[in-house]
Structure 1
Amino acid sequence: MKGNFYGLRGKQLSLMLITVVCMSILVWAWEKNPLHTSFLHPQNIWLPLTSDLRTEAHVETVVTSQSPESSGKDESSIAEEMTMKDLDEREFEIAPTKGMVDIGGNLTNRVEEKEEPSKVIKSVEPEKNETAEDSFSVTESGGNQEPDSGVDNSKQEERMDFQVPSGSEHFNATLPVENNENPPILDKKQAACNFAKGKWVVDDQRPLYSGFSCKRWLSGMWACRMTQRMNFDYETLKWQPKDCQMEEFEGSKFLKRMQDKTLAFVGDSLGRQQFQSLMCMITGGKDRPDVLDVGREYGLVKAKGAVRPNGWVYRFPSTNTTVLYYWSASLCDLEPLNITNPATEYAMHLDRPPAFLHRFIHRFDVLVLNTGHHWNRGKLNANRWIMYVGGARNTNKKIAEIGRAKNFTIHSIVSWVNSQLPKYPRLKAFYRSISPRHFVNGDWNTGGSCNNEMPMSIGKEVLQDESSDVDAESAVRGTKVRLLDITALSQVRDEGHISQFTIKGTPGAQDCLHWCLPGVPDTWNELLFAQI
């Protein structure tokens, strides 16, 4: 028994020794195996790359910036635009971390790769939305606006703050600025601002003058404070361009900027409204005994039996600044065919500028032209205007169509003014786009109305890049005549018209063409002031 016991014990010791040796060999081999990391450290416990973290944060930031409402920010905080190129160059310039850190704090030699911009853009691309351009239509006949396009303008409020405009090669995305400041005023070295793109906002500092006191410059029929109207919320709205801030208008600054200069408005009654608005803005709506009436210098005096003169000219002696208006509803040269007959017809020279403009353009430093609403068959027949081209009665049936005749004339006048600019290098010329009408359920003589008195009820924002006045935009293209684009921003202001209100309060046809003053035409002059 004893021998067997010691024999078994010796065998066990031998097995144990062999086991220890084998285990030692296995441990040594395991430590030398380069594939052990795949078992000891699963990939899901690695910390992500710095670039991965930043890319995820960028996607979250851009998605959040799509809707200011969802982010709790006011729309005015969405100001800074970025193109796809900006995203490539800014958002994907990652800090030079050349690896990633494991749980033990060791760096690996993994090379960092930049996230492709296309992946991020794809993740934030919005659905196709109705553009502001769809909400505005300019008819070829006379350029009048459709009374009811059937478009729900309230959708403009829900529009994302970035979109791909038609014809644009860039993806424009707006990101929230760090503080809720107004966008910067652009200097000459920066890109020109599209002043027609922006939104209406409430400004407690409005209006710029009182409709009660500006009696010397403002026609009573356009001073809505003098009528039975009771709602004047429309006076408190200010236009805020999307990409920059307009310089605040001040009469003293305007006069200083226009020292020894003459500004001339040549156009229809909407041009007259802009002229009266500017006179009220310069003077603050106060009577200025020092301001001189110098209409005789330009032959603008009231003729015997006439209701009013063909224009007005006022001069501010302190700065020798002259502001002028000349009535030319069609921007054509009108020539009586029989000067001895009071009921004579007039040659309406579609390819000639008004004789007044031809005679005095050398005296102007700033020129603002407009036409549009007199281009209808009823007006031409009532005024006894006969279309002439090339000095002879027009026989071209295509030009004879009213819309084409208007377009032909606009191109002709812009082309002529452009040809004069080299002769007068100091002259800055503008063509003002058409002012929209807001007649609903009829026209001015068929029961049309515009009874809305609530501002921004049909919209407050304009996001389109192109003008709603196609004829005007095409006419100035390729010339040095600038477009004073007021159509779309005025289209959303249907509550600002004279409407049913009159001084005497007698019922009659509603005026959904002209504007209450103070009102929308003040903004046209602010845009003009910003571009002079």
Structure 2
Amino acid sequence: MKGGFYGLRGRELSLITIVLMCTAFLFWAWEKTPPLTNLTPPETRLRLSPDDLVSKPVASLLSPKSKGVSSFAEKVIEQVAAPLISSQKSTERSVIKSNPVNTTDRNVEILASLSEEEAKGKQIQEPQTYVGAQGPTIRTEVEGNHNKMIEQVSEQLEVDMVAQVTIENRDCNYAKGKWVPDDNRPLYSGFGCKQWLSGMWACRLMQRTDFAYEKLRWQPKNCQMEEFEGSKFLRKMQGKTLAFVGDSLGRQQFQSLMCMITGGEERHDVIDAGKEYGLVQARGDTRPSGWVYRFLSTNTTILYYWSASLCDVEPIDKSNPNTDYAMHLDRPPAFLRQYLHKFDVLVLNTGHHWNRGKLKANKWVMHVGGVQNTDRKLAMIWVAKNLTIHSVVNWVNSQLPKHPGLKAFYRTISPRHFVGGDWNTGGSCDNTIPMSVGKEVLQDESSDESAASAVKGTGIKLLDITALSHLRDEGHISRFSRTANPGVQDCLHWCLPGVPDTWNEILFAQI
């Protein structure tokens, strides 16, 4: 009996131990995975996703998989959506579902329970659950306003979208597009702007009678160009200096910009600051080598320096008034070397003075390495021009690390439209209906291959105006020039207001 007793007690202890272990396991399993919740049909479980937080147009912006999703949108997901989704898991464990409930309605209930602080990223408090005859009802201890949160998110996303468009426009190819009529043009009066505009380029003061060319605006393809405003330009350039260095087309762009900033109106708060740059009219000269104007209201300086070849030119014999001039193909202009540190925006150009006639008339002699050139291949005009363009661009690029705030541009060549000859052989440009009608510029590469190749791989940006200007053959001064001899037309320079205004609009968009 005694042995049987102890044997029975051993079996009982084993059974009791097994029961206790199973009970403990069941309690542990119940706590971790409530059976009722897991038995709820999947379609009735609460799902809280970013798409349910806001209306569909805004929700699409919140998806990280969306094209072009911004850092702000990602932050919204992290600070708003993620905590809500995390809280959803906790809510699912606490809700007893006896009847199917519409998922979207459920999500709105949870969203309505958020306070303003929680909407900014804090964890949602655990909701209390009550089971009634009509099914589960969710209530939280915190009252909130989900509409206010949605409105705040939407407003911030709208701001971010504007910033995103600005970033996309920075990558815009402004050289692609078409000319469109615009009754809001021109940006200044062709009768006015006498304070800045040379009379020889003011076609309204000449015998010309058709002015449709003033009513065209350049529309880039697939992007918007910021509308030019003089006050906005001055704010952007407050305390800064913009310098044009180049030939007479560069001077036209300079005068165009002065007219655009002022709207052609006379300004008494603009002073001549030429002395600071040595740009004063010397005795015997018909004009100075450049002009410098400063807007006192914003301390903005706009200057132009005449450098037709964009290389350093100096007299070979300074004591001889009839001396030839050395044009150093591999050396930037002395003015540029001396004053580059004072510039914040630099626009370079050259092109139309690179011909035998100009070199002979100006008494320019090619020099390389400080000595007269003897290389026949380099003596070819187009080769010499390319060497100069590459040399000055490379030099400016080498200076950018010393002047991190400098934005430098090389403007491509302005096209000529002589038909039936050149400027001195009967060439003309009498069109009044522009060739731009019905045409678009769709090419990705610049028409000025020399300029494009020079800036490639450098920090210098290309101000590409060649192809778009080529479509505007009716915008030249043509036969109405004040200074030309009879039968001689100017199919190189432009009427102002006119095409160079667009060059400045594109420049403004890229500054």
Pairwise TM-score range, normalised by the shorter structure: 0.5 to 0.7
The 3 A distance-change label for structure 1 pair 199 and 402 is: same
1:398 pairs with 2:387: no
Give me the whole-angstrom Cα distance separating, in 1, the residues matched to 2:345 and 2:293.
15
Aligned residues: 351
Residue 386 of structure 1 and its aligned partner are, at CA, apart by 0.5
Higher RCO (CA < 8 A, seq sep 6+): 1
Does the aligned pair in 2 maintain the 1:227–1:505 contact within 8 Å? no
Give me the whole-angstrom Cα distance separating, in 2, the residues matched to 1:351 and 1:505.
35
Give me the whole-angstrom Cα distance separating, in 2, the residues matched to 1:341 and 1:392.
19
Residue 508 of structure 1 and its aligned partner are, at CA, apart by 3.8
1:307 alignment partner in structure 2: 286
Q: Which amino acid aligns with 2:406?
A: L
1:524 pairs with 2:486: no
SS in 2 for 1:417: helix
Question: Residue 302 of structure 2 is aligned with which of 303, 313, 323?
Answer: 323
Does the aligned pair in 1 maintain the 2:426–2:487 contact within 8 Å? no
1:515 pairs with 2:494: yes
Does the aligned pair in 2 maintain the 1:185–1:244 contact within 8 Å? no
Residue 395 of structure 1 and its aligned partner are, at CA, apart by 1.4
Question: Residue 410 of structure 2 is aligned with which of 396, 408, 431?
Answer: 431
Give me the whole-angstrom Cα distance separating, in 1, the residues matched to 2:289 and 2:446.
30
Does the aligned pair in 2 maintain the 1:208–1:284 contact within 8 Å? yes
1:360 alignment partner in structure 2: 339
Q: Which amino acid aligns with 1:450?
A: C
TM-score, normalising length: structure 1: 0.64
Give me the whole-angstrom Cα distance separating, in 1, the residues matched to 2:169 and 2:499.
28
The worse-fitting range, judged by mean Cα deviation, of 274-283 and 296-305 is: 296-305
Does the aligned pair in 1 maintain the 2:170–2:510 contact within 8 Å? no
1:58 alignment partner in structure 2: none
Q: Which amino acid aligns with 2:347?
A: V
Residue 504 of structure 1 and its aligned partner are, at CA, apart by 8.0
1:444 alignment partner in structure 2: 423
Does the aligned pair in 2 maintain the 1:251–1:281 contact within 8 Å? yes
The worse-fitting range, judged by mean Cα deviation, of 390-399 and 515-524 is: 390-399
Residue 271 of structure 1 and its aligned partner are, at CA, apart by 0.0
Does the aligned pair in 1 maintain the 2:169–2:224 contact within 8 Å? no
1:105 alignment partner in structure 2: none
Give me the whole-angstrom Cα distance separating, in 1, the residues matched to 2:350 and 2:437.
26
TM-score, normalising length: structure 2: 0.67
Q: Which amino acid aligns with 2:360?
A: N
Q: Equivalent pairs: percent with the same residue?
A: 74
Question: Residue 259 of structure 1 is aligned with which of 238, 263, 279?
Answer: 238
Residue 460 of structure 1 and its aligned partner are, at CA, apart by 3.5
Give me the whole-angstrom Cα distance separating, in 2, the residues matched to 1:459 and 1:444.
28
Q: Which amino acid aligns with 2:304?
A: Y
Question: Residue 489 of structure 1 is aligned with which of 460, 464, 468?
Answer: 468
Q: Which amino acid aligns with 1:378?
A: G
Question: Residue 280 of structure 1 is aligned with which of 232, 243, 259?
Answer: 259
1:471 alignment partner in structure 2: 450
Does the aligned pair in 1 maintain the 2:292–2:301 contact within 8 Å? yes
Does the aligned pair in 1 maintain the 2:245–2:348 contact within 8 Å? yes
Question: Residue 351 of structure 1 is aligned with which of 330, 334, 342?
Answer: 330
Residue 196 of structure 1 and its aligned partner are, at CA, apart by 0.2
What is the Cα-based RMSD across aligned positions, in Å?
A: 1.7
Residue 455 of structure 1 and its aligned partner are, at CA, apart by 2.8
The 3 A distance-change label for structure 1 pair 523 and 348 is: same
Q: Which amino acid aligns with 2:227?
A: E
Give me the whole-angstrom Cα distance separating, in 2, the residues matched to 1:210 and 1:190.
29
1:157 alignment partner in structure 2: none
1:332 alignment partner in structure 2: 311
Give me the whole-angstrom Cα distance separating, in 2, the residues matched to 1:290 and 1:356.
27
Give me the whole-angstrom Cα distance separating, in 2, the residues matched to 1:261 and 1:250.
17
Which deviations, in whole Å up to 9, do the C-alpha atoms of 1:452-479 show, x marking residues without a partner? 0113456531010000000000000000
Q: Which amino acid aligns with 1:237?
A: L
Q: Which amino acid aligns with 2:393?
A: V
Q: Which amino acid aligns with 2:250?
A: G
1:498 pairs with 2:477: yes
